[in-house]
Structure 1
Amino acid sequence: MRKLLLKLILAAIAVLPLFLVQVIGAALGILAYVGSKQYRSLFRPQYEAVVKSHHLPFQIWSAAAASGQLFSDSLWIWSNPLAALAKAEIQNWDVVEAAMAEGHGMILLCPHLGGFEIIPRILAEHFPATIMYRPSRQSWLNEIVEKGRAYPNMHFVPTNIHGVRHMTRALSKGEAIAILPDQVPSGGDGIWSNFFGRMAYTTTLPIRLSKRHSTPAVMFTAKRKSIGSGWVVNAKRLEPFSEDPNVAAQELNVAIENAVLTAPEQFIWAYNRYKHPSGAELPPSN
């Protein structure tokens, strides 16, 4: 009964105007920060360390509000894809066209920032896109996410060997794939590398796929504009990754850092980017 009620509430929120949805999301983000000690213990130290090290203003309440909007944006985009596309201001689209014109496909790298869920939909308006995702542990939430993410020309595959095979086939056909590069991979699928001054277990999948297929990697961001106004979507092509896997992992993390620093308050700071996944080797000391 509780899960059904939550589904109905989320469905009701999703049909509201973006302005109201983002206000609700901001309120929920602040409530989560105030009400959960565990949430704060992850959120504040990660956010605070980054803004202080880069001499940026410390805007904890804006960041807490934006953390709720990260989900509310996604919810609205899933339910209102055409309206969401109309609210996306796309910059540097020539970067995407040039990458796809090479005929080796494209690796879309998309951190959890702002309205990141709009990015694969923009791509799918022009090219087939295969997107790798990690299913939620809560079946009812996973059902909402999978239903919401369904969209023409977009194909979702799980983060396992079968998903990797689907992505490899997509690249061999010159199609685009999308990977969330700021997620912690499973043990054995990553390398420890510096991320904002701390060692983070970093995925090597985009690096390996880029090398295998001579595929360009493009970093995307979807920076949230003012309340209800939509997002600015930017694409930046990365230089080819180093042949040294450790250097390549650092190159990837620097690219993610640069993406995050375009709108640091809008990043998913409550996610434990520095956890030690089961099966991974111990991290080296900094």
Structure 2
Amino acid sequence: MRTLLFKLMLHTIAAMPLGFAQAIGGGLGLLAFIGSRHYRSLFKQHYLSAATQNHFPARIWSAACASGMLFSDSLWIWRNPSKALSFTEINNWEVVEGAINEGHGLVMLTPHLGGFEIIPRVLAQHFPATILYRPARQDWLNAVIEDGRAYPNMHFVPTNLHGVRQMTRALTRGEAIGILPDQVPSGGDGIWAPFFGRPAYTTTLPARLANRHHTPVVMFTAKRKGLGQGWLMQATRLNAFSEDPGTSCSELNTAIEAAILIAPEQFIWAYNRFKHPLGAEPPPQ
């Protein structure tokens, strides 16, 4: 029953014009913020702390609304990839071309911001992309997500040893790989590093893969331009990561922060980025 309801919602949103879909997503974001004390607590704590440290105006209701739009953007992009591509303005594409033409592949980093699901589809128009993803805990939800994300020239692999091996092979072939760098890795797969002033358990994978293959790393964002107006996709090439794991994780988090500050209201602030995963050492005091 849940699968049918979710698919019905997906198809309903997909059938709407983008602006209507985003308005519904914004409403759902407000409902989640008002209706869930846990969601609201995480959201306010993370968002307001970042706003204070980085001196950007705190627009808490706008941010709650935009968080719901991130969900509706993803659903709409999954079901309308061609339309979504036509709604996407691309900045700095020469950065991507220059990086991939070096012949060592490309590590693309994409935080959960705005219409981030459009980014691998843009890249897949030009070269194959292998994307690392964490399967949902519920089988029915995972099936829906995998069906929605399926797209030519894009290959999704799970966050396990088999998936990492496939990404390594893709880099060897000179192809692109994609990682969501703001997700908390499993215990033993990360290092505590500062993120908006607090210790966050941070993946070491992007730096390990990039340094092993001398691969260029590009941070991508897809900022929502306005209701129904699509997204502005921007590419920023990062400096080579340090060989020291602790330093490289700090460098990665600094780059993620810079990407988020392009459109801070559009980040997924309710995600518990500072949790202590099972099996990880305690965070520093």
The amino acid across from 2:277 in the alignment is P
TM-score (norm 1): 0.98
Q: CA RMSD in A?
A: 0.8
Moved over 6 A (4+): none
> C-alpha deviations, 1:97-141, integer Å up to 9, x for none?
000010000000000000000000000000000000001112222
Partner of 2:156: 156
* Residue 246 (structure 1) aligned with residue 270 (structure 2): no
The amino acid across from 2:115 in the alignment is G
> C-alpha deviations, 1:165-212, integer Å up to 9, x for none?
000000000000000000000011000000000000000000000010
* Residue 26 (structure 1) aligned with residue 26 (structure 2): yes
TM alignment of 1:39-118, pairs within 5 A: 39-118=39-118
* Residue 277 (structure 1) aligned with residue 277 (structure 2): yes
Shift of 1:229: 0.4
| Structure 1 unaligned blocks of 5 or more | none
The amino acid across from 1:76 in the alignment is W
Shift of 1:18: 0.3
Shift of 1:22: 0.1
- Contact in 1 for aligned 2:3/2:144 (Cα 8 Å): no
Shift of 1:5: 2.4
Q: For the residues of structure 2 that align with 1:268 and 1:190, how far apart are their CA atoms?
A: 21
Q: For the residues of structure 1 that align with 2:2 and 2:206, how far apart are their CA atoms?
A: 39
* Residue 258 (structure 1) aligned with residue 258 (structure 2): yes
The amino acid across from 1:88 in the alignment is T
- Contact in 1 for aligned 2:131/2:156 (Cα 8 Å): yes
TM alignment of 1:112-127, pairs within 5 A: 112-127=112-127
- Contact in 1 for aligned 2:77/2:84 (Cα 8 Å): yes
TM-score (norm 2): 0.99
Quote the sequence identity (%): 68
> C-alpha deviations, 1:37-95, integer Å up to 9, x for none?
01011111000000111111110010000110011000000000000000000000000
Partner of 1:215: 215
Q: For the residues of structure 2 that align with 1:126 and 1:2, how far apart are their CA atoms?
A: 36
Q: For the residues of structure 2 that align with 1:177 and 1:50, how far apart are their CA atoms?
A: 29
Shift of 1:3: 3.6
Q: How many residues align?
A: 285
Q: In structure 1, the residue corresponding to 2:74 is in which secondary structure?
A: helix
> C-alpha deviations, 1:6-30, integer Å up to 9, x for none?
3212221221110100000000000
